[in-house]
Amino acid sequence: MPQTKTGILLVNLGTPDAPTGPAVKRYLSQFLHDRRVVDTKRIIWCPLLHWVILPIRVPKVVKLYQDVWMDEGSPLLVYSRRQQQALAKRLPETPVELAMTYGSPSIKQALASLKSQQVNRLVVLPLYPQYSCSTTAAVWDALAAEFRQTRDLPQVVFIRDYAEHPLYIKALTESIKSSFEQHGQPDILLFSYHGIPQRYADEGDVYPLRCEDTTRAVVKALGLDESQYKMTYQSRFGREPWLQPYTDETLKSLPKKGVKSVQVISPGFSADCLETIEEIDKQNREFFLEQGGERYYYIPALNDSPAHIDLLQALVTSKT
């Protein structure tokens, strides 16, 4: 029997290779073709996607990516790469690779790199704190698709989620306390999670329950009462109902209820990206201030903070 060698695979959602029309179209097409993301019948969805949605959506999304693009590239890839590099420094004897479910670096590329390093035991960590069929399960599907052509499968340990892990809750709590110390405690602390169609939850996706678990644990650690926080869902797409309450509508309504200051955190994102930088820190800030709000602060994702790397290290080493 060959000696066991463990490798780590971190997986996040994905991002365009560049803030250009062709790159964004290629990325969105791959992303929105996944049945885990959109489960509409292909005979209906594919013509709608290619003839209506992409022609309208791509130019708008290109402008948004151009606004948030960093010198090193897309924020999601930049921060995810920093996470990978920081974790690799903590685990010098263990190969650590980064992959994206959609776009580059691909899961195929990451698996090939790990195989070239003689890895035969794989710990897979999807960088989604709360399980969802549209994110975590999509990673599972992508792995299975790659392994379908493999004769000799590695042993695979798949970390489903970490919504209530003590180090995750600790990192979030410390980040929020730091923001409170810097900006003062707000009237409302808003927990904004990425949404999914309500139908997915009705059909068994436990995602909203896991979001509630995270919120409950953080609120308990902070000692907040029900009047001091709210939990909402952002980034809805299409016409069918998504998880509610919606983040944008909530922020528009709060000033009318006497709320003058809010701080917003998006605990479902392990790294800052378009949905946090553009949508939460810019668009939703404008919604709140335009309606009479006075102070709005976005609490950044954990990114490559030491507390976050402590969590990632604990998650993967518990499986090695």
226 is in an annotated binding site: no
C-alpha 188/C-alpha 294 separation (Å) is 12
C-alpha 291/C-alpha 260 separation (Å) is 10
Question: 217: buried, middle or exposed (CB in 10 Å: 19+, 13-18, 0-12)?
Answer: buried
Q: Which helix (H) or strand (E) holds 246?
A: none
C-alpha 76/C-alpha 275 separation (Å) is 10
DSSP-assigned letters across all residues of 34-59: -TTT--S-HHHHHHHIIIIIHHHHHH
Nearest to 222 by CA among 167, 263, 174, 179: 174
* Strand intervals (E) in the chain: 6-15, 96-103, 121-126, 155-158, 188-194, 229-234, 261-265, 295-299
286 is in an annotated binding site: no
DSSP state of 133: T
Cβ–Cβ under 8 Å, residues 156 and 146: no
CA distances from 247 to 46, 209, 295 (A): 29, 17, 17
C-alpha 297/C-alpha 57 separation (Å) is 28
Nearest to 83 by CA among 14, 17, 9, 147: 9
Q: In this structure, what is the dihedral angle of CA atoms 305, 307, 308, 309, given to the nearest 10 degrees?
A: 90
Q: Which helix (H) or strand (E) holds 78?
A: helix 75-90
Please give the annotated binding residues for Fe(2+), written as ranges. Answer: 194, 275
Please give the annotated binding residues, written as ranges. Answer: 194, 275
